[in-house]
Structure 1
Amino acid sequence: MARTSLRTKLAAVVATGVMALGTGVLAASPTQAAAAAGDCPYTYFCAYEGPGYTGNFVKMWQCSDVRWIPWTSTNGSWINNQTPGTRARFDLSNGSSAYTYGAYYAVSGGINWNTVYYIDPC
């Protein structure tokens, strides 16, 4: 049941550009999202330590290139700039998984990295 709830929350990303897992919800401006696109090339999934695509970041593009998320910031961000239909999977601290909706070009200006342990880009 928690998985369904998280998927519902992730659906809001596509509709609003905002992701809320735990606390800390921020909306990214179109200008911030456009600037971040330069750092996250087509076919990549990018996770940013800070809100609005700022701070340290990790680029992922190879399937099964599972990355541990070291950040504990409550307001990070991400871009799913992969090929159409490619979904990234977030492995969460509660043992469940949540998926982004198919790319091209889903973004989140605010995510609580405390709830995310690993990300598999596809």
Structure 2
Amino acid sequence: MTDGQGARMAFDPVGDPEVGNILRSLSFLGIFFQYGALETSDISVPVMELLGKDLTIRGYQLFEVTQNESRLNRAKAFITEGLENGSLRPIVDKVFKLDEIVEAHHYMESNSQVGKIVVEL
């Protein structure tokens, strides 16, 4: 997929011991975003990958956008335009009716979905 160059960016919602492998998969000047902590133990960073590839390791929270009016407006415009012109196409895994909310939650907890779970109101 990368012609042996490695990925330019990686996003991780977990933060487990596999982070080292993710960092190894990055290209020169690759960027790693930790945006969640399903696993709360410290992550291990392979120092030679960090130095040899000049990697950037960065934390990210949604508040970085939602609590800054300018960034939030840019994000809304980007998403609206992308949905309108078709460049953003959400993947919906399963749709539930509101009275199936318990089933929807169980399905979410199963981690078997690929894409979004939608609840219709």
TM-score calculated relative to the size of structure 1: 0.24
Question: Highest relative contact order (Cα 8 Å, sep 6+), 1 or 2?
Answer: 1
> Going by fraction, where is helix more abundant, 1 or 2?
2
> Going by fraction, where is strand more abundant, 1 or 2?
1
- Between structure 1 and structure 2, the one with the greater Rg is 2
